[in-house]
Chains A and B, each alone.
Chain A
């Protein structure tokens, strides 16, 4: 975990894998922020601008996208890890 443990410049594949792990870490944070977006819509006047159906489309669309991205990331993480057995799963 300390910087001096590994080489200064990683092989391209290792580098890619590290960035994928970063993406995997980042995804739930991005997801949390995006899930909170509908809360911002509520202030738009008393006429009931935000319809449930609209929020539904947003939320379910987001849901599908998040699952898809998670799928892509974890699939590539697996492929990358298989090619790089010597290093531990640690980051």
Chain B
């Protein structure tokens, strides 16, 4: 009994040691110390939960039964690890960028945050992994039993059930203590990871120690050991090719899909860079773990009595040789393997169960709203703790029900085959944008049913669950439905048979379902983000948060994340938006960030559902999808908008420049006019003064001289009057005070009058007209119109520099308007002046004929009053003015 007591004490000490390690690591991490916690080697060692008690003890048993075949269980993960560049890198990146909490979360996230899919994966995982937990409990109890067998028979054999119960309870306690310390499952469980890393070292050392003892202690050297292997039952390498390849593939698939592996590999990953170290270090670890398996098996088969359980050779060989210390170390190795597996599996499964099953149900029953009273945070933690206890208890229950028989020993590979059903949906989701939720559900469903039918249910033994008749003759007596010879595939290894059919049909259903269905917008969005995760690892999308209430969001977040964290998050977001206080605008960016934060605590699907309740059910619209999924299009659109804007700006600037030029010119003209007008006023005034002084002061003037001087004074006064008249006229016209004196007359008569009045004489200007075209009767203010014509003809007379000067007047009708063009054969008006000639005070060059620059301005004002226009007509041979008048007046007059 002594050794059992020692064993119990060692176990207890070891457990205390583990608690201490976990506690210290958690503490160090919380205080920001402990860089070594984030070492890539800790990460690599944490991956070693792949090697459970099933592999610690079972590998030797496996090797004793079928030789080198056991290495396939380690070769699969080796291939996955050295191929990290393909899959693991992507999985880790996706896991980090989407804040994935479990494999169920990853799959549901990828397929549009579908909770149905998450529930399905969770159930499948629980069914697949629970027996595996039972297997760990069994291995611990068996190893206890192995020790007790060496004692005198009958000396109070420990009750296997109670041992298992104690172990289960201890593990539950440890997991709850260190696994649910923080709600955010996305944060690393430093304590747990550190404890696992320590356990990884313990189990490797234990197995290596036993191996060294067997090779050099029991056999006496390498060559002797090799000779023993050659002499043993497993001397020949007789592995069926299908099993060799099938098991390698299966273990590779399981390595990626096992919930506990996903937990340590993706969720607990601190740094993507750690994968680089794990890529070679983990294969090396696996190699060392399997190095001494065949020697131990061969020596065990040789030394141990026939009928001894080869699964326990690792333990019984040292015991038989009397090395109790080594045996205890070996026991600790097995114990570590079992405990670390159960802890991580329980964390992984409980996260899935609480996030995808308990929380949605709870939310549903509490009125379907996250804003109602009650602390979601506590509920979530409680749900997770209960789930841990539930998962471990399920494992214990399974162990009790099956009685820990041989059926359990086979469960390892069966469990692998179960979780491997996730592979098509997982890989398809990561690499194929066309994969849809329907396809994933179909594939998983088909795979699950086939796995149950071909492997899981028959594994309980004949007639336990599945009747023998079904095994022999197939379901409903259909021979092609025999569970172990499906579709007539007879004489195959049952395991390989089940893997082949389930994976083939699973993949087939997945691909077919994806091809035939059409994904929802959010699926397409998530698909793009997962598959192209290296192109843009930042965005998931699509909250249009117009209706969201920031306060409601804050209330909800406080319940889930805790008040301090939530307020800090909200305040940071508000600050980023340039707002004070705790309530940021519910912009899509912020909602997205919040959803990601929340999904770390309650899973993507639940977080999405909670936010959509508050935001008002706004899912992703196709517009959002287009905008976010195709960022390049967005950017291109934006840049073209910018381009258009800049073109518009350039246009506006050009117009502004033109206006400015015009203003400057006008100002110059005004200055010019002022000096001109003073000059114009001064010149006649000067002569009037001079001649009137002569008339006053000179007494002996002849009548002829008097008359001459008087007429000069008169002419100058007339000129002054004319100038003042013009100014007055313009002022009246501009102020709209003019009264129109409407008359009716012929255009040709009007032009004749204007020609005469403009002082056109033979020799000064030749006027060319088409009298036939001028037969228009006008009803308008003829005097004013004549004034315009006079002005235009007089301008031609004064300014036309043609030789001889010719003015042609052409009349025609355009679109109901009378158009009269006055074109001369001079050099015209330079283009830079064309814009200003109608302005007041505008004069072209040095005046030759003493105009005040008011003529055209008056013309324009008159034409505006008459509902017509006068404009400069560019592109003619000389200066050309076009007068246009509406003809309706004439029509109305008729």
Binding site for B on A (CB under 8 A): 1, 21, 24-25, 27-29, 31-32, 35-36, 38-39, 41-42, 48, 50-56, 59-60, 63-64, 66-71, 73-75, 77-78, 88-91
Q: Which listed residue (B84, B283, B534) contacts A24, Cβ 8 A?
A: B84
Q: In the complex, which of the residues B80, B85, B226, B291 contacts A60, with contact meaning CB atoms closer than 8 Å? A: B291
The answer to whether B837 has its CB under 8 Å from any CB of chain A is no
Residues A28 and B241 in contact in the complex (CB < 8 Å), given A48-B235, A52-B229: no
Contact yes or no, A51 B235, CB < 8 A: yes
CB neighbours (8 Å) of A69 from chain B are 82
**Structural contact, B236 and A32, CB atoms closer than 8 A:** no
Q: Which of B149-157, B272-280, B637-645 contacts A (4 or more CB under 8 A)?
A: B272-280
Which of B71-79, B441-449, B747-755, B767-775 touches A? B71-79
Q: How far is the CB of A23 from chain B (nearest CB, A)?
A: 9
**Cβ-defined contact, B276 with A77, below 8 A:** yes
CB pairs A–B below 8 angstroms (25 shown): A24-B85, A27-B82, A28-B80, A28-B82, A28-B83, A36-B241, A36-B245, A39-B244, A39-B245, A42-B238, A50-B236, A51-B236, A52-B230, A59-B75, A63-B286, A67-B281, A67-B284, A67-B287, A70-B279, A71-B280, A74-B279, A77-B276, A78-B273, A90-B535, A91-B534
CA distance A60 to B75 in the complex (A): 10
Inter-subunit contact A52/B234 (CB<8 Å): yes
- Closest B residue by C-beta to A82: B273
Contact A67 B82 (CB under 8 A): yes
A interface footprint on B236-275 (CB within 8 Å = 1, 0 otherwise): 1111010011001000000000000000000000000101
Q: Which residue of B lies closest to A91 (CB)?
A: B534
- Please name all residues of chain A whose beta carbon is closer than 8 Å to the beta carbon of B85 when the two chains form the complex: 21, 24-25
Q: Name the one of A36, A42, A54, A68 contacting B280, with C-beta atoms under 8 angstroms.
A: A68
State the 3 A-B residue pairs at the shortest beta-carbon distance, nearest first.
A28-B83, A71-B280, A90-B534
Please give, as numbers and ranges, the residues of chain A lying within 8 Å of B230 by CB-CB distance: 51-53
Which chain B residues border A89 with CB–CB below 8 Å? Answer: 89, 93, 534
User: Which residues of B209-228 have CB atoms within 8 Å of chain A's CB atoms?
Assistant: 226
Once the chains bind, are B244 and A78 in contact (CB under 8 Å)? no
Distance (whole angstroms) from the CB of B529 to the closest CB of chain A: 14
B68 lies within 8 A of A52 (CB): yes
Q: A31: nearest residue on chain B (CB-CB)? A: B79
Please report the C-alpha to C-alpha distance between residue A68 and residue B283 in the assembled complex, in whole angstroms.
9
Closest B residue to A32 by beta carbon equals: B79
Given contact pairs A70-B279, A74-B277, A39 touches B287 in the complex (Cβ within 8 A):
no
Query: Please, how many angstroms separate the alpha-carbon atoms of A69 and B277 in the complex?
Result: 12
B residues less than 8 Å from A36 (CB atoms) = 241, 244-245
Question: Known contacts A60-B291, A71-B279; can you find 4 more A-B pairs with CB under 8 A?
Answer: A38-B237, A50-B237, A67-B78, A71-B281
Partner of B237, one of A24, A52, A64: A52
Majority SS at the chain A contact face: helix
Hey, which bits of chain B sit against chain A, CB under 8 A?
67-68, 71, 75, 78-86, 89, 93, 226, 229-230, 234-239, 241, 244-245, 248, 273, 275-277, 279-281, 283-284, 286-287, 291, 294, 534-535
* Residue from B229, B238, B276, B286 in contact with A74 in the complex, judged by beta carbons closer than 8 Å: B276
Bound form: Cα–Cα A27–B797 in Å: 98
By a CB distance below 8 angstroms, the chain A residues around B67 are: 52
Residue of A nearest to B80 (CB): A28
> Chain B CB within 10 Å — which of A53, A60, A73 has the most?
A53
Q: Which of B79, B236, B245, B276 touches A52 (beta carbons < 8 Å)?
A: B236
Contacts of A25 in B (CB 8 A): 83, 85-86
Instruction: Verify B86–A28 contact, CB threshold 8 A.
Output: yes
Q: A24-B84, A39-B244 are in contact. Are A63 and B237 (CB under 8 A)?
A: no
A60 → B minimal CB distance (Å) = 7
Residues of B within 8 A of A88 (CB): 534-535
Contacts of B80 in A (CB 8 A): 28
CA distance A28 to B279 in the complex (A): 11
Expressed in whole angstroms, the Cα–Cα distance for A11 and B576 within the complex equals: 39
User: For A42, A48, A64, A70, which residue has the most chain B Cβ atoms within 10 angstroms?
Assistant: A70
* In contact, B226 and A53 (Cβ under 8 angstroms): yes
Could you say which of A27, A39, A63, A89 has the most chain B C-beta atoms within 10 Å of its C-beta? A63
